[in-house]
Structure 1
């Protein structure tokens, strides 16, 4: 890392947050299904998820730093070995495509619910502009994400503040009485917390691994903690808002837009624009990540894979946004347990191997090899010769 400019703690935290905070998060549908349906118990799930995101995010960043990784592949191969690492690599790659499908469906839901236009038109528009961006090689996706995420968080916290003041009694009632686990992806809140952390880490590993190679150990630790805390607080804010409007919000594909509409038409329009921008940045980064893993940029194969992925994503998006969130994300979450297990194994392995390596290096430093002794003797003889000549 010498000579390299290291990323700041805030940059690491913001990038981590921006990777996880996609359209599913911003729409409220993820938080509703994984936490909202559990009422007060969902808050406990959010606490568990926050700890998991901070801890495993740190592990990925730290391995990326130690391995100087340019992608997620060296990290998952080191942590899980050849076979498990290869499996995790394909899980990440396929989920990038699944994320593109979900973003296309999210755009369709917004067009239908908020603009009164056909669902398929919203999906098509999002796919077309995503294809255009990736095919023309326009850079700056990360920059656009870092620009959109603060706007999203400001909008979420503003709606939360309004809800806590205007709808406090409804929120208090929901926290006391609401509990509907039958509509959640899994019937137990600790399991949904694990699933939520798992599939988000699968998606974010592709960004966190190379991010770690540009960071120092102190920045990584603080950035992971801050990023995990920010994600937990943001999800908790959305959860509280949805619980205050749970009886009606649960009936919408994009529940946060319904809540924004209860404040004012202007608030709904503003949140719609922020959400569409979030969907676009997530769709582009997902499509690029998938295609770049499958083919080299600038080749005919790359272009054909891009077009084929876009067409397939458009077709699958017609399955519906909430249906995709409720089926695809939990499935990837279960598959992602392999990633979490690999990271824990890699962490334990690293803790055991590192002291042994350091001890071996210390012994070698105290006990020079014959070759090292010969070199030192030659240097001393040369110095003595020079000293005699000078005399």
Structure 2
């Protein structure tokens, strides 16, 4: 009989870690939500619900299997679901994808800090890189502890912006329909012309970059029930953050036209103090995502807190800092991202097939 004890503190921590992992620079600036959801107007809220349904099942399954199988290497989950040959293809694709995004975020970190605080770009990049490396060297458990606390804080700040939007909306109830009608004419980039597909695509992209991380989080739980509860709570909290941000971006659509950082514009409009906190939040979001993506890359090559792990993490950080502004990694991600969505759909099919066969439900003792 498997242990089914549940610690509420651990559930919140693991749920927060998942939310923090997903709330990186793209989400915290508001650009991801804008392109995948808000550009669809009020249908963006329905798209968020599609994300919720898909991601709840996928995270529930991955957290559960992470706890049941306790893979020594989280990338072993690809072979578990897809077999040896295809599993290896997925493993290396995932490593490349995660490291490419790590380098892009590291390169963008310096520019972001320079834009907000006027600090030299290379200093900003270096500070984020050193903080991320230091956190990574502490190991996966400590990383989960740290970003598990950061996740709920991020959601609270997004909630403040969303609630402000709802309050404004209560006085001007026609704002949502007005913004929905105008969205296609405002020049915003959109992830897809179909609102339902945008919600599904966001779920598959979120899946593809977080599979090893979710497996590690599941392994960290005290029981299968605890792991699955954390997965559902984390996905639900993240979806609430999406919906609140969609509402805020629709309500304040005039403020964010042509702006690279919609959340900062909205926060500054609500209160300069909130704007200052949001600028800090964006930097913290970049740091937590960079640390998480670095750790997940290195976990392919060595167990955490080993000498080999520390050396590889340090080398990859130096490479990321050096080449971040030189190599066209943004183009690499533009190539990897669309493929990531479709490859995640195929992986999901393998997951569902294995789970339905029943072999996913057996536990190794």
Q: After TM superposition, is the score higher than 0.5?
A: yes
Distance, in Å, in 1 between the alignment partners of 2:250 and 2:119 is 28
- Asked if 1:223 is matched to 2:225, the reply is no
Going from structure 1 to structure 2, the CA distance change for 1:174 and 1:312 (only over 3 Å counts) comes to: same
Q: Structure 1's 141 and 10: CA in aligned 2 closer, same or farther, altered over 3 A?
A: closer
Counterpart in 2 of 1:303? 311
SS in structure 2 at match of 1:241? helix
* TM-score, normalised with respect to structure 1: 0.77
Instruction: Give the equivalent residue in structure 2 for 1:379.
Output: none
**Aligned residue in 1 for 2:191:** 185
Asked if 1:194 is matched to 2:196, the reply is no
Counterparts of 1:1-391 in structure 2, within 5 Å, are 2=2, 8=8, 9-134=11-136, 140-166=142-168, 169=172, 170-179=175-184, 183-213=189-219, 214-295=221-302, 298-299=306-307, 302-303=310-311, 306-313=314-321, 315-317=323-325, 324=330, 328=333, 331-332=336-337, 334-353=339-358
Q: Is the 8 A contact 2:102 2:293 kept in 1?
A: yes
Give CA-to-partner distance per residue, 1:196-245, whole Å, 9 cap, x none. Answer: 11121122222221333435444444433332221111111112112223
Whole-Å separation in 2 of the counterparts to 1:155 and 1:84: 41
SS at match of 2:299: helix
How far off its partner does 1:157 sit?
Answer: 1.0
Describe the SS at the equivalent of 2:83: helix
Corresponding residue SS for 1:179 = helix
Is the Cα contact below 8 Å between 1:79 and 1:343 reproduced in 2? Answer: no
Name which one, 1 or 2, has greater alpha-carbon Rg. 1
Between 1:292-301 and 1:96-105, the stretch displaced more is: 292-301
Q: TM-score, normalised by structure 2?
A: 0.82
The structure 1 segments of at least 4 consecutive aligned residues displaced by more than 6 Å after TM superposition are 136-139
Contact 1:28 1:254 in 2 (8 A): yes
Unaligned runs of 5+ in 1: 358-391
* Paired residue secondary structure (1:243): helix
The alpha-carbon distance between structure 1 residues 74 and 150, as it changes in their structure 2 partners (threshold 3 A), is same
Q: Compare 272-281 and 152-161 and name the one that shifted more.
A: 272-281
Question: In structure 1, how many angstroms separate the alpha carbons of the residues matched to 2:326 and 2:110?
Answer: 8
Check the 8 A contact 1:58/1:221 in 2, yes or no: yes
Cα separation, partners in 2 of 1:70 and 1:308, compared to 1, 3 Å = closer
Q: Matched residues in 2 for 1:334 and 1:173: separation? A: 35
- Per-residue CA deviation, residues 274-333 of structure 1 (Å, 9 max, x unaligned), is 22222212211211221232356554685266334433355335789xx95x98378335
